[in-house]
Amino acid sequence: MRMSALPAALALVAAVLATGAAPATADTPGPVLTVDLEAGTAALHHNTARVTYERVDGAVNAVRIISVEIVSGERDCAWVAWNDPHNVNDWSNLTSEPSCNGTGLVESPDEIIKAPAGHPLKVRLAADHGTDVVHKDIEKL
């Protein structure tokens, strides 16, 4: 009499699902997500941004940037960047230009950003008054 391995495999799958375990080798694909960023003080130096993204199915530590929206303060220029492990400056811009002097900017880069396992992906809203970054907000993706 031969026993089938199917019942044992089903029991293992059921046990994994019951514990809520996720695959360790890839990000779990899921819904479209957003990160809201806010930098600077109220009034003339208040900058906001929203990054819309989704995890890349089957890839470790990778997301697809769907859109980036920025509204800069009236006296600032603001931009959104991600912590690129391959950039000598540590950050790479997600938009083609900054939003300046109270204007808004919406871009849909449809860009996949990725980093080695263990390097947490982050986005940063940075703003300046003409020279140095004076306001920033950093959030993990």
Q: What is the pLDDT of residues 48-97, one digit of tens each?
A: 999 999 999 878 889 999 999 999 999 899 999 999 999 999 999 999 99
Enumerate the domain spans of the chain: 26-140
Could you tell me which residue, 131 or 78, shows the higher pLDDT?
78
Closest alpha carbon to 122 in 103, 102, 136 = 136
Q: What is the arithmetic mean of pLDDT over 105-111?
A: 96
Q: What angle do CA 121, 122, 126 make, to 5 degrees?
A: 155
At 76, list the tokens. Answer: 């600032």
Cβ 123 vs Cβ 81: under 8 Å = yes
Q: Contact at 8 Å (CB) between 99 and 50? A: no
Residue type, 65: I
Q: Classify residue 43 by its DSSP letter.
A: G
At 14-35, the pLDDT tens digits run 554 454 444 444 455 568 999 9
Mean of the pLDDT values across residues 1-10? 46
Is 124 in contact with 81 (CB distance < 8 Å)? yes
pTM more than 0.85: no
What's the farthest any 2 CA atoms get from each other in the chain? 81
pLDDT, residue 5, reads 47
Residue 52: CB atoms within 10 A of its CB come to 15
Cα–Cα dist 10/71, whole Å: 52
Confidence category of residue 115, pLDDT binned at 50, 70, 90: very high
How many degrees, rounded to 5, is the angle at CA 133 between CA 83 and CA 51? 45
Nearest to 27 by CA among 54, 51, 60, 3: 60
Residue 30 confidence (pLDDT): 66
β-strand partners of 92: 82
